[in-house]
Structure 1
Amino acid sequence: MAALEPRKQPRQQRSSQMVDRILDAALVLTREQGTRTPTTLAIARRAGLSVGSIYQYYPNKEAILLDLARRWLAAFPEVIQKRIDAPRPTNRAEFRQEVRKLFIDTSKLYLDNAGLMPVIEAISGNADLRPIQNEYDEQIIALYAAWLRHVNPALESDTASRLGELMMEVGHVCRLVGLRKTRKAFDLIEDDVETMWLALVTPHLALS
């Protein structure tokens, strides 16, 4: 696990900008290359840095991709929080609009970062790395539960958490399936997931 951790955390603005350049370059390359992971040399060239500069912060390309995966996972709480901060929907039509907004935002995160999905799946299958994803999973489930209770304050916490976990797991697995297919197939699967979500949670939300 240590070999996949950054060598040092940026403490100054210049160092932080350097790390951002490295991660931005790696992200662009993962989007361009699809399932092929970029080499450290390619990342350095795209960032306009020497390979030595890369190694000051990361021991290998896997550590860079892991840091990218962390940033990807960290984007979801903010997206869900936007729905919690929105005015409470008062009927099913308004709730469907809120779900649609959430799907637009989260789908973009998957589509823009499709090249990272092998890294995400590798984290899930690695006993040493799985705690990284678990930490974010728990946060995402809690936010989904908070969103449902925002819509229906009378909803019991245990029920909201159970529904939140199903929303997260079903959405993630189905999107991974969709990313392996055409964009049209991805969009159809997204519509199917949205339909399943609505069927799952609407009876618990006391909406007219």
Structure 2
Amino acid sequence: MSLASDNPKVRRVPQQQRAAKRVDALLDAAGEVIAERGFDGATMTAIAERAGTSIGAVYQYFPNKDALVFALRTRYGNEMDAQWSALGEAARQWDVAELVERLFALLVDFMAARPAYLPLLSVSLNFRRDAAARNRLRGKFAELFQRHSPALSDDDAFRVAEVTLQVVKSLSPLYAAARPKERKALVDEYKTVVSSYLAARLD
């Protein structure tokens, strides 16, 4: 992860492995504290204590909580893109139903493994994914969809990929707001929507 390019608010770019590990530990600690206390309840002091470091060490890399959380959101975005890219590579032999199952399973597992992800969705940080990274991910799925439906033009395949991934991602805020017992039903509704859309577009 390049903190210089992903987060212009970071004060100091770690040049050594030890410093990079410290930044990773701070992001891990931030995720744990935010998952327990929420964004508003998470303080830089609590994050420093969870990371086993001084508050001064935290401020060496992050001038405030927003900058630290921006870096954590960037990490999550990079991890999700990497997992979905790997999924796109693995999905060459799957039918539409299997692809949809795997897409939503990946997202649900991702949210469960990173409990700070959902609380951070409602935090306004002017967070935007890098356009080139977004286009690379959509390009991988566009290629996948063209293998399922060779008649799709490049533009049509990219559009289908863009719509599909955007719909899948839109589950997250609804999932966060839903009661636990409603979440599975919500995921099933989304699976129906995406399956129907892809079946129509890839027929």
Q: TM-score range by the shorter chain?
A: 0.7 to 0.9
> In structure 2, what is the equivalent of residue 11 of structure 1?
15
CA distance in 1, matches of 2:153, 2:41: 44
Structure 1 residue 133, shift from structure 2 partner: 5.7
> In structure 2, what is the equivalent of residue 105 of structure 1?
106
Q: Partner letter of residue 170 of structure 1?
A: V
CA distance in 1, matches of 2:130, 2:192: 26
For normalisation by structure 1, the TM-score amounts to: 0.82
Which runs of structure 2 are paired with 1:78-97 in the superposition (5 Å)? 78-86=82-90, 88-89=92-93, 94-97=95-98
Deviations 1:43-86 (A, max 9, x none): 00000000000111111111110001001111222222223322
Distance 1:153 1:80, change over 3 A: farther
Structure 1 residue 145, shift from structure 2 partner: 2.0
Structure 1 residue 87, shift from structure 2 partner: 5.5
Q: Partner letter of residue 166 of structure 2?
A: E
SS in 2 for 1:43: helix
Unaligned runs of 5+ in 2: 1-6
> In structure 2, what is the equivalent of residue 57 of structure 1?
61
1:161 aligns with 2:158: yes
Distance 1:182 1:79, change over 3 A: same
- RMSD of the TM alignment (CA)? 2.5
CA distance in 2, matches of 1:143, 1:184: 34
SS in 2 for 1:42: helix
Percent identity of the aligned residues?
26
Distance 1:4 1:117, change over 3 A: farther
Structure 1 residue 197, shift from structure 2 partner: 0.7
Work out the number of aligned pairs and report it.
Answer: 197
For normalisation by structure 2, the TM-score amounts to: 0.83
Unaligned runs of 5+ in 1: none
Distance 1:62 1:145, change over 3 A: same
